[in-house]
Amino acid sequence: MKNIQYEFSESFAQKMDAEDPLKKFRDRFFFPQINGKSAIYFCGNSLGLQPKTTESYIKKELDNWAELGVDGHFYGEDAWYHVRKKSKPALAGIVGAYEHEVVAMNNLTSNLHFLMVSFYRPDKYRYKIITEAGAFPSDMYMLETQVKFHGLDPEECIVELSPRPGEYTLRTDDILNAIEVHKENLALVMMAGLQYYTGQVFDMQAITVSAHQVGARVGFDLAHAAGNAPLKLHEWGVDFATWCSYKYLNSGPGNISGVFVHERHAENPDLPRFAGWWGHDEGERFRMEKGFKPMYGADGWQLANSNILALAAHQASLDIFEEAGMKRLRAKSELLTGYLEFLIQEINGDSGVLEIITPTNPAERGCQLSLLIHKGGKFVFDEFYQNGVVGDWRNPNVIRLAPTPLYNSFVDVFHFATILEQSLLKFA
């Protein structure tokens, strides 16, 4: 795969598409229209496209509700009571976990807070949290307010790691070194698995091993990694993780989040948590009695009964992931993003208009490439959009492009390149 000779030609892109074992999946999605044509949609990092099957999955639950009313909870194989577990096999596959280590619930930021209740337990000696500088704002606010909730000072407790001067991404060695430097006081490493701005995938395994060696816990926000980058959360020994389902997981705007809690915490009675009836022992849930008994594993972190319509949309997408398979998706993703990188480099040359800041090594990235714009600013992005490309602009000066292996093609990437070529003529 590494030796592939990319070519700047439409016939090459067409040949790659013809040989793509996942090519049929593109037709399973609705593409937004721009100027009467299907968009070149490179924005699955922000909101994944709608599967054509989503409507029928939701419709089925609406029909059950119409026909059965409250009996829908327990009637038949697909009773809502059980439907809540349906997402487990696919989620476990996507994040590399056992089924009892994952559960779909709440929203991402809510889950971050709930998991912090269990896994950030500062004391006199251990109170620091290592995170990446420039984390997604919700994560920054979450950390800041969690620290304050414990009566501590965010300035003192939150250690933000920045790339070296002149560099855009963090070196693994620098992360591991920071863990060593702060080891006496380190309670937690809580960072992105895949950084939303730069597209960098952190070495989650190395970080987890180092943090555990110094007695700290480790959690990852996988908003941009789930359904995109290869993950082996169980094997790596990560303590907890959470993600959203509306980015690469195509489950619809604001849809349900997922949670991973490592098996080693499945029955730990010392972990405090904020509980609700849905995390209570299933066999006794409807006894309506006092005394919380958590379910085994990640299920024990559930609070409330989830939105069945939202879960239906989630499942429509997860069924597609199961069919496509993460291995095949990742194989295509490396080729597709490699092609985009090749074409951008060819076109940009030494024009100085832009620079790719996402790591070149496929192991250190998912499908997203982040383009730092040196000349033309947001006009470069507006120019893309006028020509039917949906990417996204992130202040101060980055364009993110995410060709996703499920529904993007090599011809999409080629067409984008021709648009880029035209727009660079204006700004070089």
Ligand X SMILES: *Cc1c(COP(=O)(O)O)cnc(C)c1O
Contacting positions for ligand X (CB under 6 A): 107-109, 136, 138-139, 192, 196, 221, 223-224, 244
- Pick the closer one to ligand X by CB: 92 or 249: 249
C-alpha to C-alpha distance for 383 and 363, rounded to whole angstroms: 31
- Pick the closer one to ligand X by CB: 258 or 297: 258
C-alpha to C-alpha distance for 356 and 346, rounded to whole angstroms: 12
The backbone torsions φ and ψ at residue 355, rounded to the nearest 5 degrees and listed phi first, read -150, 135
C-alpha to C-alpha distance for 201 and 195, rounded to whole angstroms: 6
- Pick the closer one to ligand X by CB: 108 or 312: 108
Q: Is 389 helix (H, G, I), strand (E, B) or coil?
A: strand
In angstroms, what is the minimal distance from the CB of 254 to ligand X? 7
Q: To which H or E segment does residue 254 belong?
A: none
- Pick the closer one to ligand X by CB: 295 or 311: 311
Non-local CB neighbours of 334 within 8 Å, separated by 6+ positions: 1, 362
Map tokens 């849930």 to a residue: 285
Instruction: Tell which residue, 44, 21, 19, has the closest CA to residue 31.
Output: 44
Strand partners, 242: 221, 259
CA distances from 376 to 352, 369, 382, 421 (A): 11, 18, 10, 14
In angstroms, what is the minimal distance from the CB of 109 to ligand X? 3
In angstroms, what is the minimal distance from the CB of 293 to ligand X? 29
- Pick the closer one to ligand X by CB: 87 or 423: 87
Note whether 146 and 116 are within 8 A (CB): yes
